[in-house]
Structure 1
Amino acid sequence: MDDKIIFIQTGGTIDKDYPHTTKGWAFEFGEPATNRILKKLNPSFEYEIITSCQKDSLEITEEDRMNLAKLIEKRPEKKFIITHGTDTMLETATYLKQQIKDKLIVITGAMLPERFSNSDAPINLGCAIATANLMKTGVYIAMHGIVKRSDEIDRNLENGKYY
């Protein structure tokens, strides 16, 4: 159980999918992108994928963050990877860092939906998985090929990149 990774979907660009309705014009949230990425990976670790919410990160509320923290706290596992929208992942990281002390949480997302062939989703999720296998506790962000503690990372709002 100590090595099992729990993946939690919250929505965000990584999970956006093409509309399934006729004449649909906006993206919809579907199954977690993590399902498709892990199927290709054929991982050597035990995992579970669950959904907390399916929202654009600009729509995530304090109540959503509170529910996410409760979900993590009630689980016996110690390793969590959260897929999240990039616009407010830092706010969620800050909230979780204040609430949870004895678990490892890695937050990641994507600038382009995983469904796009040129998406950054697989590499970002891969960095998050590597972090989950190397670190013990704390809250981290894995984006753009880097991993940093949530209180050591920032975002350039002009190009969207984390640094």
Structure 2
Amino acid sequence: MKILIIQTGGTIDKDYPKTTNGYAFEIDQPAVLRVLEQVAPGFEYECIELMKKDSLDITEADRKLLRKTIISAEATKILITHGSDTMPETASFLNNIQGKTIVLTGAYRPERFANSDAAFNIGVAIGSLNTLEQGTFIAMNGLVFPANRVRKNSVTGKFEYQ
């Protein structure tokens, strides 16, 4: 199995600013690559740095580019790292792509932080790609949700079935 990993940005990839007097985090290299380096995975993967945006800044044009990238890819197993705020909207936009298994994941705290949920969410997402049939899903909070049955609870910040 070969997994295509697509970075779109979000908290999972955020790092401390590299500019002087920087206050905001910036989106860095794909966190998933650092996670996979530590675990010696038993599968092949390729990573595309498609965009480095906070999910609140992802546009319709960005989603169209993501969709086009997925459709044109040879891989049938796709992992997308994405910010959690608009992850359900992107998953819904990608939901009817045929012949692919697509899992979106992210993190509430940057992977660079010791108490990050990034590695856990990436592991759940990759495990899901091994077992799910075609379709689009979100892997967050130790659960996997179909794209058309998920929402982010605005009070708790957690993903849940709708």
Provide TM-score, normalisation by structure 2. Answer: 0.96
2:71 paired residue among 73, 90, 104: 73
CA–CA separation in structure 2 for the residues paired with 1:19 and 1:13: 13
Q: Which residue of 2 aligns with 1:159?
A: 156
User: In structure 1, what is the equivalent of residue 84 of structure 2?
Assistant: 86
Tell me the residue number matched to 2:2.
4
Q: 2:145 aligns with which of 142, 145, 148?
A: 148
- Partner in structure 2 of residue 57 of structure 1: 55
**SS of alignment partner, residue 159 of structure 1:** coil
Q: What SS does the aligned partner of 1:34 have? A: helix
CA contact (8 A) 2:106 2:122 kept: yes
Aligned residue runs from structure 1 range 126-145, under 5 A:
126-145=123-142
Shift of 1:48: 0.6
- Supply the distance in 2 between the matched residues of 1:81 and 1:127 (Cα, whole angstroms): 11
Aligned length: 160
Runs of 4+ in 1 over 3 A off after TM superposition: none
1:123 and 2:123 correspond: no
Q: Deviations over 1:5-26 (max 9, x none)?
A: 0110000000001111122111
CA contact (8 A) 2:85 2:152 kept: no
Deviation, structure 1 residue 35: 1.0
1:154 is displaced (CA, Å) by 2.0
Cα distance between partner residues in 1 of 2:62 and 2:9:
12
Residues in 1 aligned to 2:153 and 2:68: alpha-carbon distance in whole angstroms: 31
**Structure 1 residue runs without a partner (length 5+):** none
Q: Which amino acid aligns with 1:119?
A: S
RMSD over aligned Cα atoms: 0.8
Residues 100-115 of structure 1 mapped to structure 2, 5 A cutoff: 100-115=97-112
Distance in 2 between residues matched to 1:76 and 1:101, nearest whole Å: 13
**Alpha-carbon distance in structure 2 between the residues aligned to 1:156 and 1:89:** 12
Separation in 1, partners of 2:157, 2:109: 12
Work out the CA distance in 1 between the residues paired with 2:30 and 2:133. 25
Deviations 1:108-134 (A, max 9, x none): 000000111000100000000000111
Aligned-partner residue type, residue 121 of structure 1: A
Bigger share in strand: 2
Structure 2 gaps, min length 5 = none
Identity over aligned pairs, percent:
52
